[in-house]
Homo-oligomer: A and B are copies of this chain.
Amino acid sequence: MTSLANASDARDNSESQPSQQTPAREVVLTGDRPTGPLHLGHLAGSLLRRVELQQRFAQTVLVADLQALTDNSARASELPDHVLEVMADYLAVGIDPDRTTIALQSDLPALAELTVLYLNLVTVARLERNPTVKAEIELRGFARDIPAGFLCYPVSQAADITGFRGTLVPVGEDQLPMIEHSNEIVRRINRMANRDVLPESKAILSAAPRLPGADGRKASKSLKNVISLSASADDIRAFVASMFTDPTHKRASDPGTVEGNVVFAYLDAFDPYPDEIMELKSRYRRGGLGDVTVKARLVDVLEAVVSPIRERRARIVGEKTYLRDVLSEGTLRAHAVTSSVLDDVRAAFALKPRRVGKFITM
């Protein structure tokens, strides 16, 4: 995983990046909706970051199956398979269950209970103003017929973050309003309890731009412009061959454009030698560097990135009992944490604590 870690380190220059001096009590909370196998965009955007963060902080990765239902309830029957696919992806890229708690959202009743409590602390108008909710409503074309669960999704996310006493949340820029929403709830609870029941959280912003799909549009499984973490060498060659470059760059000797060029976006994300990429970009801009050459380099780079993941993934993806056991153990650990947070929040509402020691979730 060395080259992966390097690639990740090369992008870790965001200002909001926690320094090595951050106290050890920081807790990272992150996760994915299990809607199918993860792809290279996830690897560059979040997975490599997690492999690195688990070295420094307590980290929980939440498999957000209930959140997947908020916009996808028709395909609920595919969820169990998707959960195992995502588990295989996590372990294959190097997320270590001894360092990172991997937990299943729908098996953590305390998160549902926190959500229901927090719904009393947030107005509908405030939820409708949330830019992420607004944007996603447009993107998904819900218009006025938004499922209530979708409108309330920032509240559910606040439950996820606070349920683990999360203080660091790796997000994209577009998710910043979610953190603000969560912190508003935290402040409200702390004011109610007249003490610091919950910590506020801050974003870890990724310095890396979001990876585009092969066609230059937003990376999306449904647009078939992404490639999975178990892609074969042939898949990788076909994927790179299909990449949008610069339509005006007809011959190798022509000057070319690097911005919006998908091949360079992937090289920026995954090539372990950023200095050489800077040099290649200059040559490409001047003219004298053909698409065939840069694409050949990208094929090699991606094969080097993907092949160890592919091999590990192939070994574990069929081990469903093992994958389920890892998830069960993580979820039990998470259950203990979230139940204790729930008791603290209940106290702020003058609700008595539970004796939950014996609740077996799986």
Contacts and interface: CB of A to CB of B under 8 A. Distances in A.
Given A73-B349, A112-B109, A119 B152 contact: yes
A84 to B, nearest CB: 12
Contact of A70 (B120, B354, B359): B120
Interface stretch (A75-83, A163-171, A315-323): A75-83
Interface stretch (A42-50, A140-148, A241-249): A140-148
Interface in A315-362: 346, 348-352, 354-362
A77 B349 CA distance: 7
Contact of A360 (B346, B351, B355): B355
B69 A120 contact: yes
Q: Which of A123, A146, A151 has the most CB of B within 10 A?
A: A123
Interface residues of A, number: 54
A347 to B, nearest CB: 10
B115 A116 contact: yes
Interface string A36-77: 000000000000000000000000000001100110010011
Contacts of A116: 66, 112, 115-116, 149, 156
Nearest to A78: B350
Given A73-B192, A120-B148, A355-B361, 10 more contacts: A65-B351, A66-B116, A76-B349, A79-B349, A109-B113, A116-B116, A120-B149, A123-B146, A125-B146, A148-B155
Interface of A: 65-66, 69-70, 73, 76-80, 106-107, 109-110, 112-113, 115-117, 119-125, 127, 144-152, 155-156, 192, 346, 348-352, 354-362
